[in-house]
Structure 1
Amino acid sequence: MKKKWIAAAAILAAILLCILGFNALKPKTVEGAKTIRVTVVNEIDGTELFSGTIKTQAETLGQMLDDASELKAEMESSTYGRLLTGLLDVKQGEMATGPWWLYESENNEACKAAGFCPAVDETPIQDQDQFTFKYTDSY
């Protein structure tokens, strides 16, 4: 009986450590002014639609896109969070066939930690982050 309690306590402790460890490693949001470098590329027709900086107080990529009126971002809710469906008046095609709006960053901590950028509202941003948004028919 005592061994069962010890085993149960050990399992509970392991689960708790996993949860705490995950939260400790998760990138945190940063308050205050930030300058974010943004590049928007239409890979379908080979044009660069935007290249510049966005000054923002936003804490997540989704908030920055909401605030940056010059990007004309359009998003819709999905089961995985908000989905980017348009930028600069270029609207995404059908989800099953594309083309789609994708984004990446080589220096954003959340994107580096996951190996890909999370959903826009789950991607915390920091000063000097760089994002590339691509309208593409391949991933």
Structure 2
Amino acid sequence: MKNKKKLITLLAVVAIALGIVFAIKKFYPTVDKQQGNKQITIIINNLEGKEIFNKTYSTDAEYLDKLLEEHAEELQLDISEVGEYGRSVNGLCGLVTEDWNIGPWWIYESENSECCKTNGFCPSVDTCIILDGEIYIFKFISY
């Protein structure tokens, strides 16, 4: 009788553990990294929504922040260190967020990024895995 209770308890623990693993995979899906060279397009729009930059880069970077850092001088990149919510883009093409309380701020989006589609939104640039052919649009916005 004791062995049967132990077996049932063990099976229950295993079932709960498997349930947690499946729940994590469902709610936190992943994108597989792509090794090697890929072509990534970066588009930058100013506060008025006008496109001020559009270029396709060849890169071996796996994450969006690393691609941006490779071309930091050309992009006039100002990027934060890793914080509570990941890395933030503070400035591009000479447009810089001066006050995080009032903006304007940098956001980015992509219609063909697997990372953005998988998450349902575009995450911080240091967690966004980039794949060949993706296009990222950075927008300087204010509300």
Range class of TM-score, shorter chain: 0.7 to 0.9
Distance in 2 (alpha carbons) for counterparts of 1:63 and 1:27:
17
| Alpha-carbon distance in structure 2 between the residues aligned to 1:53 and 1:41 | 15
> Which residue of structure 2 aligns with residue 67 of structure 1?
70
Instruction: Report if the CA contact (8 A) 2:29-2:119 is conserved.
Output: no
Q: Match for residue 33 of structure 2?
A: 29
Unaligned runs of at least 5 residues, structure 1 = none
Cα root mean square deviation, aligned: 2.1
Deviation >6 Å, runs of 4+: none
The alignment partner of 2:11 has SS state of helix
Percent identical across equivalent pairs?
A: 35
3-state secondary structure, aligned to 1:14: helix
What are the superposed Cα offsets for residues 15-55 of structure 1, whole Å, 9 maximum, x if unpaired? Answer: 23334x3599400221211111111001x234321012122
Gap runs ≥5 in structure 2? none
1:57 equivalent to 2:60? Answer: yes
Q: Which amino acid is the alignment partner of residue 36 of structure 2?
A: G
Q: The residue matched to 1:8 in structure 2 has which SS? A: helix
Larger radius of gyration: 2
The answer on whether the counterparts of 2:39 and 2:57 sit within 8 Å (CA) in structure 1 is yes
**Number of residue-to-residue matches in the alignment:** 136
Structure 1 residues 91 and 25, CA gap change in structure 2 (3 angstroms): same
Distance 1:33 1:23 in 2: 30
Give the counterpart of 2:124 among 84, 101, 119: 119
Shift of 1:113: 1.0
Code of the aligned partner of 1:130: I
Letter of the 2:34 counterpart = V
- Give the Cα separation in 1 of the matches to 2:85 and 2:28: 22
Map Cα deviations across residues 92-121 of structure 1 (whole Å, 9 max, x no partner): 132221100000000010101112111111
TM-score by length of 2: 0.84
- Is residue 63–residue 127 contact of structure 2 (8 Å, CA) maintained in 1? yes
Give the Cα separation in 2 of the matches to 1:9 and 1:28: 27
